[in-house]
Chains A and B, each alone.
Chain A
């Protein structure tokens, strides 16, 4: 169809509203091979990015809650000095698994999951690239995260800290199998992360709607693109590190053994070369959320699109040059440390640029003050505060005092919760109507936001002071005469408030899924393509796919310039477009649902977990994986017939 689409209306023939989708999603008559397969087998074999994305997001959130419970236990223990609630062994496992969960099993995967769900929709694509690999990546992630918690419950929870320094995590001092489970968790999440990154990059480069040139892509897509490239370059470092650690522990190599030519510091370099970019894997998608929400709730295109894109790219590059700032207290050469101080300060400039652009957008917009925007306002305050303490930490002399103290704990929570979790909650409130077809309750949302904002500051601000008062990190208790008791108690109270806030969110979701206000296709009146289809989107997303002519397709006069006719539904066909200008290039048949990704993931899990106990698992374990992969890729006679028929008559 030609002409503009006003907020709230859809291309003719489309359906909207909750309930219409549930039965309709299985409707083979309407959606052909895009239709979801029913039943438990259909659920297990799904390759639709929305079906996989929903469970991906839900699993990530479940791990957030689990990690939060561990944090709650930690705060209970630290609320009083010399508390005997939790002993050192359990406490060490708690803080290690809390950190590992939040960094590896919640934050990065959930950002990728939001990408899996929303990037294809924002680009006008019908599915994510490599849909079966997407399913496989999800299962590998789920099994890895589950392995971590099974280990914790069996008293094999890793206990060497979430960054697992050697020699404490090494073969001599890392007793038992705990650090092996940590290292294998890394393997699971790295495999999953790398695969999803590949899919996102391919989707962004090859599956955009015709006319969506690179500079018409939504800013969240840019953020996910930069993040995905960063993941591909950074994750191999930690894969190498964790594999070397397992080899040291299991087989007796000497990577981290100074007596035989290895180096304890090698671990730190390898880990932090990944670890610093990793926090930007978490942060950049958050910045993407902010751009989307600011634009939609200021009712104007975000000011400084090019500046923001360049800032995202600059942050991506610069983040690879910061890693030694985690190692300022070691004896690496002093002059080298100054370089990393400078780099760590420089990376503030692109972030500052984006913040100024957003504030300018808000200033000159027409503001819709709803919960998503509140979370963004909370982001501004908390993230800026966290970023500024980051500048403090980037100075070597000052870092030598506050490194490895509660000051750093405060800083990292301010930037991660402020910079990623607040925008994530804003994104949940913003996109919930699109995913479920219902609005989240606004009153509960306000309570959610304010309790989270207040609880967060009450919990984490005192930690700055505690660090300056000399309280180191990762201590299971502290002396009564240290004077740290009062601030720790306040911090624990703040943690309790956060718990209430998250519970409110869960209640809000549970209620709204059943009885929230029905939402149409575009309840917020936003401008990007995901709002141009039903809520929730049907299988295959767009019927028909659209062609765009601008950066804000649902706002501009010539935003939607056409439609793509002629793509088949069976086999499910997509239009592949060129990289820079998204000109139609060729049509391509996408794969249909299958169980083989799940089976391959199970085989992978068996191999990874067994290799904790014996190196032979690496040999024998590849056989089931190979069988599963061969079965996965085996061409189906039925599908080959369909493709051959299309060769003659497309």
Chain B
């Protein structure tokens, strides 16, 4: 066997099989450590958020001069599986399904469709929960911790499929009443119109 071939083969064999596999695995792990995973973090401590005063909520798409950019802390909740799961738990704990059922509505409007009377953006839903709305939506401001409101907001949006599918919750260990949120096709909100009472009572 030629010297060159021997050396190259010998060189290869010197990085013996065991070292190769260890280095391969270690390299992969280093790379992975650099990335984080927003979906899976569990924030137990309450994160800084607005108080009972809701963030700047706009009920109309029209603005004079130039449009102010929107700032919202809610997207952090929508990509986080723990927040969505907590929102789902709280939806039942605080008896939201007493009026909204599991999204199909009843006494209250349906939450899994594309009709949003007071706006589908997280700030709008936050305001709805905290301030309440005419015709029956209670005002939960001061009764529910702020963090929990944002979790509920994220969950409500997931009921019509507006959150990333891999973060959305799966089915409950209950009698099944609808498709689970991670199997729900997105229902993109249609532009809101002023509801007339006859329209809403369908």
Contact = CB atoms under 8 A, between A and B. Distances in A.
Interface in A29-50: 38-40, 42-43
B176 to A, nearest CB: 6
A619 interface: no
B201 interface: no
A54 B15 CA distance: 13
Interface in A152-166: 153-156
21 contacts: A22-B13, A23-B9, A23-B10, A26-B1, A40-B12, A54-B17, A55-B20, A58-B21, A89-B44, A142-B25, A146-B28, A149-B25, A149-B29, A155-B37, A172-B85, A175-B169, A177-B40, A250-B182, A254-B171, A257-B174, A614-B165
B72 interface: no
A40 B13 CA distance: 10
A250 B170 contact: yes
Interface of A: 22-23, 25-27, 38-40, 42-43, 51, 54-55, 57-59, 61-62, 89, 142, 145-146, 149-150, 153-156, 167, 170-173, 175-178, 248-252, 254, 256-260, 513, 613-614
Given A156-B37, A176-B40, A252 B29 contact: no
Interface of B: 1, 5-6, 8-10, 12-13, 16-18, 20-22, 25, 28-29, 32-33, 35-37, 39-42, 44, 81-82, 85, 165-167, 169-176, 179-180, 182-183
Given A150-B28, A153-B33, A252 B171 contact: yes
B81 A176 contact: yes
B202 to A, nearest CB: 28
Given A54-B18, A146-B28, A257-B173, A177 B39 contact: yes
A59 B21 CA distance: 6
A149 B153 CA distance: 33
Contact of A249 (B5, B44, B170): B170
Nearest to A174: B170
A43 B173 contact: no
A581 to B, nearest CB: 37
A251 B21 CA distance: 36
A251 B22 contact: no
A156 B180 CA distance: 21
A259 B175 contact: yes
A39 B29 contact: no
A154 B32 contact: yes
Contact of B82 (A27, A62, A175, A256): A175
Contact of B166 (A26, A260, A613): A613
B163 to A, nearest CB: 13
B81 A26 contact: no
Given A149-B29, A150-B32, A172 B39 contact: no
Given A39-B9, A62-B22, A252-B180, A171 B82 contact: no
